């Protein structure tokens, strides 16, 4: 072993070199404090078992697994040199379909192979999709980290099943059935949902359900309809948006039935848009120049932590966007969440930018995170900016953006606790009715009046100023139950003798079985 590449809560990864042939590998060790826990050891080796069963070129290869004399459990993996897909998303840029499409098709291939063998990944996210150069082609996919993969009965692998009610995965990308702890319902369509979150993020530069804590994110996955990607980034192809939204359906049966079906839908969309499905050559730099922030768009997901202006008694029930900056101001040189990437002329200089904090649990695989940092330098990602761009045009662009914001409708998501409350939303020249959760578009800065009704609960009303996309949530109170009648003093004592007299006057029923005519059997 040459050096430590990374540590995690369960283990650590070292780079190793074969002493005879000099080939590099990555070695993952389980922390010694877990070596006597059979369930943890089984889960640790679960990744090696799963990958060995699947055997696909787009999945990280596991070469060996064993236990040292000192009772240290480990397995050996191929050494990857490249970057995780997350590297393309760290600055909230959108990734055009001609770059994202070939990557997504490979992910579909890898997961389709896993699902055919009865294996569900359960932690699909950009950090677990690694991009390397293979045979002169860039962006060759390696799906990694099957450590919490679920083996169905078809997998043919003896392993403990997840306990019902246990939530496993990364909150930002987990399916509704994962978030609710319904482990018995998890199947390949759960991975399709997670891939849908990735597709949304690649298309818009942001997550469909951001949040400052697990509860906020979970509410989004379980109740809130995702905002249409084109409402956040108009450059998303119109033919592509329905594919993303179908993957993000709350009910499994409403999503694509398989990764193969999703792959065919992506291919058909790319064919319709005349987008090549081929991977770029390793010496092709065009794919990198397409990833850079440009026009700042308003916060796009339901509810900004920059407080919106809710009025009336319902203001305390409104959830705000946790991603927005207080005051709404942002430096012009930094992209806002939801910013899209576009450039009119080729860039002439690369400017490194610092890495922001990432959502979700830290990944641990084959030295991947460390290798990405080594490959990309300290910044890990670059923001491309034309150094000779005229600065004087900035105010004009800002004024144009303000006008565009005023003309752009605002997307509102409406949820209720409990679910399925009947909602009536009214604003000037508009109205929408339906059962929560629901979504609607209204004119920017419109005053929207909401009424919530549900049997057994007190009606609730609130007003919201639609100055930005947001989530409107109402927690209804149950109708108080009337108190039980109070018996008059002494009535209970008087009723007991009366009950005994009625019992004594009742006809005696003989022991045994009586037929319908009353004769004793």
Predicted local distance difference test score (pLDDT) of residue 437? 77
123 among known catalytic residues: yes
CATH class, range 1-296+351-387:
mainly alpha
The CATH code for residues 307-331+410-479 is 2.60.40
Residue of 57, 64, 123, 283 marked active site: 123
Which two structure tokens, joined as six digits, stand for 431? 């109205």
> Are domains 1-296+351-387 and 307-331+410-479 of this chain identical in fold?
no
For the purposes of burial, counting CB atoms within 10 Å of the CB of 154, is it exposed (0-12), middle (13-18) or buried (19 or more)?
A: exposed
Four-CA torsion 106, 110, 112, 114, nearest 10 degrees: -170
Predicted local distance difference test score (pLDDT) of residue 344? 35
Q: Please state the rounded mean pLDDT for residues 346-375.
A: 37
- 51 three-class SS: helix
For the purposes of burial, counting CB atoms within 10 Å of the CB of 334, is it exposed (0-12), middle (13-18) or buried (19 or more)?
A: middle
Distance, in Å, from the CA atom of 434 to the CA atom of 472, rounded to the nearest integer, reads 14
pLDDT score of 91 more than 70: yes
For residue 418, cis peptide bond before it (omega within 30 degrees of 0): yes
CA distances from 514 to 34, 503, 506 (A): 68, 20, 17
Q: Please, what's the largest Cα pairwise distance for the chain?
A: 109
* 145 confidence band (pLDDT: 50, 70, 90): confident
CA-closest candidate to residue 28, choices 63, 69, 68, 77? 77
Strand partners, 310: 464
Q: DSSP assignment, residue 104? A: H
User: What is the total residue count of the chain?
Assistant: 521
Contact 219, 415 (CB under 8 A): yes
Strand partners, 11: 30
Predicted local distance difference test score (pLDDT) of residue 181? 76
Kindly report, residue by residue over 169-213, the tens digit of the pLDDT: 688 999 999 888 777 788 999 999 999 999 999 999 999 998 877
**Average pLDDT along the chain:** 73
Predicted local distance difference test score (pLDDT) of residue 493? 56
Predicted local distance difference test score (pLDDT) of residue 218? 87
- Which residue do the tokens 């990280």 mark? 60
Q: How many helices and strands in the chain, by DSSP H and E? A: 12, 20
Predicted local distance difference test score (pLDDT) of residue 441? 86
Distance, in Å, from the CA atom of 397 to the CA atom of 394, rounded to the nearest integer, reads 5
Kindly report, residue by residue over 119-134, the tens digit of the pLDDT: 898 889 999 999 999 8
The dihedrals phi and psi of 6, each to the nearest 5 degrees, come to: 180, 160
- Which residue do the tokens 């998501």 mark? 413
Strand partners, 431: 426
Predicted local distance difference test score (pLDDT) of residue 495? 60
> The pTM is what?
0.58
Which two structure tokens, joined as six digits, stand for 145? 């980290």
Helix ranges (H only) for 35-170 are: 38-54, 97-116
DSSP E strands in 154-249: the ranges are none
CA gyration radius, the chain: 29
Q: What percent of the chain has pLDDT over 90?
A: 31
Contact partners, residue 231, CB within 8 Å, separation at least 6: 300, 409, 411, 441, 469
Contact partners, residue 134, CB within 8 Å, separation at least 6: 140
Helix ranges (H only) for 205-331 are: 214-223, 229-232, 241-247, 259-272, 286-289
Query: Taking the domains of the chain in order of start, what are their residue ranges?
Result: 1-296+351-387, 307-331+410-479
Contact partners, residue 339, CB within 8 Å, separation at least 6: 92, 93, 205, 293, 294, 295, 296, 297
Strands 350-352 and 470-475, sheet pairing = unpaired
Run of H or E including 406 = helix 394-407
pLDDT score of 370 more than 60: no
Q: Can you say whether residue 275 is alpha, beta or left, with left for phi > 0 and alpha for psi between -120 and 50 degrees?
A: beta
The dihedrals phi and psi of 91, each to the nearest 5 degrees, come to: -115, 30
Kindly report, residue by residue over 23-75, the tens digit of the pLDDT: 899 999 988 888 888 888 887 887 777 788 888 999 988 888 889 888 899 98
Highest mean pLDDT among 33-47, 149-163, 248-262, 351-365 belongs to 248-262
Q: Please state the rounded mean pLDDT for residues 76-84.
A: 89
Contact 177, 186 (CB under 8 A): yes
CA neighbours within 13 Å on the CB side: how many for 279?
A: 18
At CB < 8 A and 24+ separation, what contacts does 496-504 make? none
CA-closest candidate to residue 25, choices 100, 72, 74, 80? 80
Distance of CA 471 to the CA centre of its chain: 17
- 448 three-class SS: strand
CA-closest candidate to residue 291, choices 380, 355, 384? 384
Q: DSSP assignment, residue 319? A: B
Strands 24-30 and 73-78, sheet pairing = antiparallel
């Amino acid at each position: 072993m040459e050096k430590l590449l990374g540590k995690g809560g369960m283990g650590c990864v070292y780079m190793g070199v074969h002493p005879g042939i000099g080939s590099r590998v990555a070695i993952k060790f389980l922390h010694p404090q877990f070596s006597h826990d059979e369930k943890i050891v089984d889960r640790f080796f679960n990744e090696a078992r799963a990958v060995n069963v699947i055997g696909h070129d787009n999945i990280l290869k596991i070469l060996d697994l064993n236990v040292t004399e000192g009772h240290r459990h480990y397995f050996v993996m191929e050494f990857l040199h490249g970057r995780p897909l997350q590297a393309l998303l760290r600055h909230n840029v959108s990734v055009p379909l001609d770059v994202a499409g070939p990557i997504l098709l490979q992910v579909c291939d890898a997961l389709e192979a896993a699902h055919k063998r009865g294996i569900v990944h359960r932690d699909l996210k950009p950090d677990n999709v690694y991009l390397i150069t293979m045979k002169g082609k860039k962006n060759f996919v390696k799906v990694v980290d099957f450590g919490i993969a679920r083996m169905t009965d078809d997998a043919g692998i003896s392993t403990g099943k997840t306990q019902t009610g246990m939530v496993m995965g990364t909150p930002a990308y987990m399916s509704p059935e994962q978030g609710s702890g319904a482990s018995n319902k998890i199947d390949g369509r759960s991975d399709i949902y997670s891939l849908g979150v990735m597709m949304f993020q690649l298309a818009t530069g942001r997550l469909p359900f951001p949040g400052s804590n697990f509860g906020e994110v979970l509410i989004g996955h379980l109740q809130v309809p995702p905002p249409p990607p084109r409402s956040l980034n108009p450059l998303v192809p119109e033919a592509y948006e329905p594919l993303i939204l179908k993957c993000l359906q709350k009910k499994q049966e409403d999503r694509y039935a398989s990764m193969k079906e999703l792959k065919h839908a992506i291919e058909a969309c790319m064919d319709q848009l005349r987008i090549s499905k081929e991977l770029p050559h390793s010496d092709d730099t065009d794919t990198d120049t397409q990833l850079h922030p440009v026009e700042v768009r308003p916060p796009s997901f339901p509810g900004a932590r920059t407080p919106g202006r809710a009025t009336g008694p319902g203001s305390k029930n409104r959830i705000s966007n946790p991603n927005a900056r207080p005051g709404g101001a942002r430096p012009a040189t930094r992209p806002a969440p939801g910013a899209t990437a576009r450039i009119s002329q080729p860039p002439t200089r690369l400017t490194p930018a610092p890495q922001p904090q990432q959502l979700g649990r830290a990944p641990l695989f084959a030295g991947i995170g460390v290798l990405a940092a080594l490959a990309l330098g300290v910044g890990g990602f670059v923001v491309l900016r034309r150094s000779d761009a005229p600065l004087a045009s900035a105010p004009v662009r800002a004024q144009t953006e303000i006008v565009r914001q005023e003309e752009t409708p605002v997307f509102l998501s409406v949820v209720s606790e409990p679910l399925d409350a009947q909602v009536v939303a009214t604003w000037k020249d508009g109205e929408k009715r339906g059962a929560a959760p629901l979504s609607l578009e209204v004119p920017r800065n419109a005053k929207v009046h909401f009424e919530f009704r549900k049997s057994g609960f007190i009606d609730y009303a609130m007003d919201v100023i639609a100055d930005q996309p947001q989530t409107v949530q109402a927690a209804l109170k149950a109708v108080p139950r009337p108190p039980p009648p109070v018996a008059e003093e002494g009535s209970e004592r008087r009723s007991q003798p009366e009950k005994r007299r009625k019992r004594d006057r009742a006809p005696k029923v003989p022991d045994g079985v009586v037929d319908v005519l009353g004769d004793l059997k």
